């Protein structure tokens, strides 16, 4: 399922800004995520981290690895493991397509952001290719140039 929701319909909880710096995002998918109750409450408080997380395909299912969701203070004995693997929900056809692309071309599945849409937690999963160091420098130079141009336009009038 492609992401085509507007920002107004989404309540973005966390985003992985470093992923856009380290990877070239070729395609993105909106996926559901299987969470426990204490994880949802902690996620609503934005107590999570996507850094160093990735998705893998095992036994026909997509799993999110390395995402850290802090324990919820009021959950006491019913709390969750902060870094457990979480299942992502996609259609079988999409999973097969992603499996072929990641296996053949050496692409990676990286979570770009986590948000709530209509009360349900969603993950924007990006099909990414790693950038070389010169690509990163080029991106930074382009961004600096664009910022300088905007600043000059503002100063003019």
Distance of CA 15 to the CA centre of its chain: 6
Assign residue 117 a region (left: φ > 0; alpha: ψ between -120 and 50; beta: otherwise).
beta
Question: Is 33 within 8 Å of 123 (Cβ atoms)?
Answer: yes
Report CA-CA distances (Å) from 8 to 4, 24, 27, 29, 118: 12, 26, 22, 18, 11
Task: Output the pLDDT for position 38.
Answer: 84
Task: Output the pLDDT for position 79.
Answer: 78
Domain covering 11-131, topology: Small Protein B; Chain: A; (2.40.280)
Task: Output the pLDDT for position 11.
Answer: 84
Q: Which of the residues in the chain have pLDDT under 70?
A: 1-9, 157
With a CB cutoff of 8 Å and minimum separation 6, the contacts of 9 are 117, 118
Task: Output the pLDDT for position 115.
Answer: 93
Report yes or no on whether pTM surpasses 0.85: no
Indicate the Cα dihedral angle 14, 20, 22, 26, nearest 10°.
120
């Amino acid at each position: 399922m492609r992401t085509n929701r507007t920002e107004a319909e989404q309540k973005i909880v966390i985003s992985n800004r470093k992923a856009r710096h380290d990877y070239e995002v070729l395609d993105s998918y909106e996926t559901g995520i299987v969470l426990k109750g204490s994880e949802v409450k902690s996620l609503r408080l934005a107590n999570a981290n996507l850094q160093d997380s990735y998705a893998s395909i095992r036994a026909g299912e997509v799993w999110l690895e390395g995402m850290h969701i802090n324990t919820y203070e009021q959950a006491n004995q019913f709390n969750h493991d902060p870094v457990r693997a979480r299942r992502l929900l996609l259609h079988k056809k999409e999973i097969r397509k992603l499996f072929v692309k990641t296996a053949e071309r050496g692409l990676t599945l990286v979570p770009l952001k986590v948000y709530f849409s209509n009360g349900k937690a969603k993950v924007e999963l990006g099909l990414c290719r790693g950038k070389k160091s010169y690509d990163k420098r080029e991106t930074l130079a382009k961004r600096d140039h664009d910022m300088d141009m905007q600043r000059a336009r503002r100063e003019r009038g």
